[in-house]
């Protein structure tokens, strides 16, 4: 039976994930607005709309029309990521396919984005021939999982309200009628299309000498702290520190989330970004100290288009005051002629240093009622996710604590 759905504004998804306890959690990107689908048979779990597919002949069609110049003049990226919210009644909130990005061609007012979400290769091919992008769902798991997807609408300061965007949308849950047996998407159909690891752009353009100089500069900054009475707090690829015993690869997808016992809860990861994180830091262990966060400008270093740091309060998982900041220039708005890149001669590009250092006084944080924090670095839109390479590293954030 055909169901007409709508997109629900999940802006500030922090309000949705603060119910989760007992595992390392990270809030949403502070510069995004979020939308999710809701239908008649949708259930709301921890404020997240989820639904169950009963068979592979069910699918979702979504059409989004870019509304006006106000949208392209304020929005700096748009992407769509599918998830299994739960698997075998355990919340994982982990991506099942790569995020769909809209960098090329650049979006203009009146453009319509058409996406089909399906667990059948037959259905995917049919709608692909009609101009739809295909978001794949692994058929093997649909009867044991609840499904949702997120639409991210990024803006430079988190204040633009893209509400009119959803009024120009079409959302249908339907059943595909076919005389032939439907071919399912299996895991290899999906995993084989995941982004491959990329190194710095300087590796690909042959300028490794410059890259080595930049990396040596970062090493020297870290050494300065280590020889000046500071200790270093470990940082990890996304959720690498969660399992016991630890694993050597980052947890970047649903298939990773269920590769350990108990399953990992991933918190709506964006496959267009890579994440690096601290452990839970108990500030009571560092009274009288300063916490110093050191991070490279990932754009200047050539590893990503943008990078930012966000520090979350364990209580409620909100970003602490002054705990959200960019370490490289943000993606410009869609209407910018250089989109999605920042003009390297512009003042916006030049105002970000090669290395960003921020100091937080522990006593000041404790005085604000902040007891425990997580520190997260996001590196955006360099497809280095889904890498299980043991030796693949980019210069991720470093965290130091003064000892005197």
* Distance between CA atoms of residues 260 and 37, nearest Å: 29
Q: Determine the pLDDT at residue 389.
A: 53
Query: Is pLDDT larger for residue 3 or for residue 246?
Result: 3
pLDDT bin (cut points 50, 70, 90) of residue 354 is very high
pLDDT at 59 over 60: yes
Those residues whose C-beta lies under 8 Å from the C-beta of residue 281, and which sit 6 or more positions away, are 233, 291, 372, 373, 374, 375, 399
Question: What average pLDDT does range 102-127 have in this prediction?
Answer: 94
pLDDT at 290 over 50: yes
Q: 């590009």: which residue's tokens? A: 349
pLDDT at 270 over 50: yes
Q: Determine the pLDDT at residue 128.
A: 97
* Distance between CA atoms of residues 15 and 266, nearest Å: 16
Count H helices and E strands in the chain, helices first. Answer: 10, 23
pLDDT bin (cut points 50, 70, 90) of residue 366 is very high
Question: What average pLDDT does range 112-119 have in this prediction?
Answer: 97
Question: What average pLDDT does range 363-391 have in this prediction?
Answer: 77
Q: 């709506």: which residue's tokens? A: 268
- pTM here is 0.89
Torsion angle (degrees, nearest 10) of CA 85, 113, 186, 188: -100
For 146-181, the pLDDT digits (tens) are 999 999 898 877 778 888 777 789 999 999 999 889
| Average pLDDT of every residue of the chain | 87
pLDDT bin (cut points 50, 70, 90) of residue 29 is low
Q: Which two tokens stand for residue 215?
A: 């990396």
Q: Determine the pLDDT at residue 296.
A: 97
pLDDT at 16 over 50: no
């Amino acid at each position: 039976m055909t169901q007409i759905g709508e997109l629900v504004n999940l802006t500030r998804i922090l309000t949705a994930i603060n119910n989760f306890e007992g595992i390392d959690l990270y809030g949403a990107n502070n510069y995004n607005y979020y939308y999710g689908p809701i239908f008649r048979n949708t259930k709301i779990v921890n404020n997240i709309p989820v639904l169950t597919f009963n068979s592979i002949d069910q699918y979702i069609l979504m059409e989004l029309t870019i509304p006006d110049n106000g949208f392209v003049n304020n929005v700096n990226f748009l992407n769509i990521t599918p998830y299994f919210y739960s698997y075998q009644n355990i919340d994982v909130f982990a991506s099942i396919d790569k995020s769909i990005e809209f960098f090329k061609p650049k979006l203009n007012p009146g453009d319509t984005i058409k996406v089909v979400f399906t667990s059948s290769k037959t259905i995917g091919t049919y709608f692909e021939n009609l101009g739809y992008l295909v978001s794949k769902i692994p058929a093997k798991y649909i009867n044991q999982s609840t499904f949702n997807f997120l639409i991210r609408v990024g803006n430079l300061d988190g204040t633009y309200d893209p509400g009119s965007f959803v009024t120009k949308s079409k959302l249908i849950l339907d059943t595909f009628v076919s005389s032939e047996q439907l071919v399912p998407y299996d895991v290899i159909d999906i995993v084989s299309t995941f982004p491959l690891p990329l190194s710095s752009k300087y590796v690909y353009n042959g300028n490794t000498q410059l890259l080595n100089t930049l990396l040596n500069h970062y090493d020297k900054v870290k050494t300065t702290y280590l020889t000046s009475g500071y200790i270093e707090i470990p940082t990890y690829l996304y959720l690498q520190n969660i399992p016991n015993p630890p694993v050597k690869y980052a947890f970047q997808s649903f298939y990773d989330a269920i590769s350990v016992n108990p399953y990992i809860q991933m918190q709506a990861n964006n496959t267009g970004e890579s994440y690096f994180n601290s452990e839970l830091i108990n500030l009571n262990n560092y009274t009288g100290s300063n916490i110093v966060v050191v991070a490279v400008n990932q754009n200047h270093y050539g590893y990503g288009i943008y990078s930012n740091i966000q520090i979350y309060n364990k209580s409620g998982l909100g970003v602490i005051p002054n705990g959200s900041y960019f370490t490289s220039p943000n993606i410009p708005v869609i209407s910018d002629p250089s989109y999605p890149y920042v003009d390297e001669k512009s003042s916006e590009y030049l105002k970000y240093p090669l290395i960003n250092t921020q100091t937080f006084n522990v006593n000041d944080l404790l005085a604000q009622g902040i007891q425990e924090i997580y520190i997260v670095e996001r590196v955006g839109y360099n497809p280095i996710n889904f890498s299980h390479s043991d030796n693949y590293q980019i210069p991720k954030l470093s965290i130091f604590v003064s000892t005197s």
